[in-house]
Structure 1
């Protein structure tokens, strides 16, 4: 990064977090009593980030494919905070499956609760999957798009990490269509640090996977679709792929 790019990235990061508190507090009276208010708040903050990212650090956000409107399972690639905002904003009534520690995060944790996001304990894998399924079942009267990160965590571009069985368990249990989502955002917005690089950040909604597939076939299809499309998007963003194995936590 040039000194000017570094300064722009620093200024962008400095304004990000105070604005989260400001927008969260402004919408709180509505959000506390209405999921619609909570969604509007989160989408307003996300659009603020998209706008400032474009003129401050040169990142333009683009959604490709057809975001689903009904009740489906979304199985997505996760590379940084940016893909969370892009996927959420593209969907009408989304909620996330997330690690329970996030509930203790200021603003984000409170809004996650208001949106009925499903918190799980990643340190207890079997119990986490069982709780995930029961929580999802308990909340299915509130139709929407349930988002799970198929590798369980943020994964750096070029790193190979396992796809977690929890996605297949949910696919079986819910008996819903699964929409895979690919991304390249980690090339421009790394998962750690303040570095930001100009370019087009993309999340792409891929061909839906119909319910009823064998679990093993489903996981193979999901991984092939998401990894293939994500690799193509990362190459488009100028990233040279040289895979390194990593066990996702």
Structure 2
């Protein structure tokens, strides 16, 4: 019960801080992308700090985040892995659902960071537009983050890896860095309880460009799922439960 109360207080202050930090940085962010990066990374680090002392949740990044251009193909379990991956990279932008563009504060910063919005309901047309938007945005180098399963996937649940990641891998001709995580064990997709422990995102060995699409997708899914399972077990997730 005490952990639940701590969690509610943590979530409340986290969402109160979001518009405050967003509005404070908005004048700088509107004229310079460095302001947008500073705001988002500053807010994320604030959340990591408060999570540690308010609910006993520590955030840890493992592996080697790329510094140059790369495709980041990540496991997605909750809002926390978004912040952790973004903060670990020098110049990140996301493939994200279109609805986020219309969210107060978050939408403004998503536009300033050149995130690529996708209409998930249109399937083939959405992939074509995503490819075109990514190509148009290549004038601003950085790390392009895609969640290969297309949505948050709770621990223990299986979802297919979508072909969009393979299409971008072929199109960009860049190294792909897989990312595994266990954050959903401690910061679930649904509910208010935030559990104490170590939330990890891990940058895995690079998949070099040039593989056939099917071989790439098979390798990506294997390494991300295998390592995520191990990280979730490390966090106490066994047989659908957190111990």
Q: TM-score range by the shorter chain?
A: over 0.9
Q: Which residue of 2 aligns with 1:7?
A: 5
Aligned pair partner of 2:78 in 80, 83, 93? 80
Contact 1:102 1:109 in 2 (8 A): yes
Q: Provide the secondary structure at the position in 2 that maps to 1:123.
A: helix
Measured after TM superposition, the shift of residue 141 of structure 1 is 1.2
Q: Is residue 113 of structure 2 the alignment partner of residue 97 of structure 1?
A: no
Measured after TM superposition, the shift of residue 242 of structure 1 is 5.0
Q: Is residue 143 of structure 2 the alignment partner of residue 156 of structure 1?
A: no
Q: Which residue of 1 aligns with 2:185?
A: 187
Cα distance in structure 1, aligned partners of 2:161 and 2:42: 31
Aligned pair partner of 1:134 in 128, 132, 155? 132
Structure 1 residues 96 and 186: alpha-carbon distance in aligned structure 2, compared to 1, 3 A threshold: same
Equivalent runs, 1:13-162 vs 2, <5 Å: 13-162=11-160
Equivalent runs, 1:200-211 vs 2, <5 Å: 200-211=198-209
1:10-41 deviation digits (Å, cap 9, x = unpaired): 10011111100000011011000111110000
Cα distance in structure 2, aligned partners of 1:130 and 1:149: 17
Runs of 4+ deviating beyond 2 Å: none
Cα distance in structure 2, aligned partners of 1:206 and 1:185: 16
Aligned pair partner of 1:239 in 225, 228, 237? 237
Q: Which structure 2 segments of 5+ residues have no match? A: none
Q: Which residue of 2 aligns with 1:223?
A: 221
Contact 2:155 2:240 in 1 (8 A): no
Contact 1:231 1:241 in 2 (8 A): no
Cα distance in structure 1, aligned partners of 2:118 and 2:5: 37
Cα distance in structure 1, aligned partners of 2:123 and 2:203: 28
Cα distance in structure 2, aligned partners of 1:91 and 1:66: 10
Give the TM-score normalised by structure 1: 0.96
Q: Which structure 1 segments of 5+ residues have no match? A: 244-249
Give the TM-score normalised by structure 2: 0.98
Q: Provide the secondary structure at the position in 2 that maps to 1:159.
A: coil
Aligned length: 241
Cα distance in structure 1, aligned partners of 2:130 and 2:55: 37
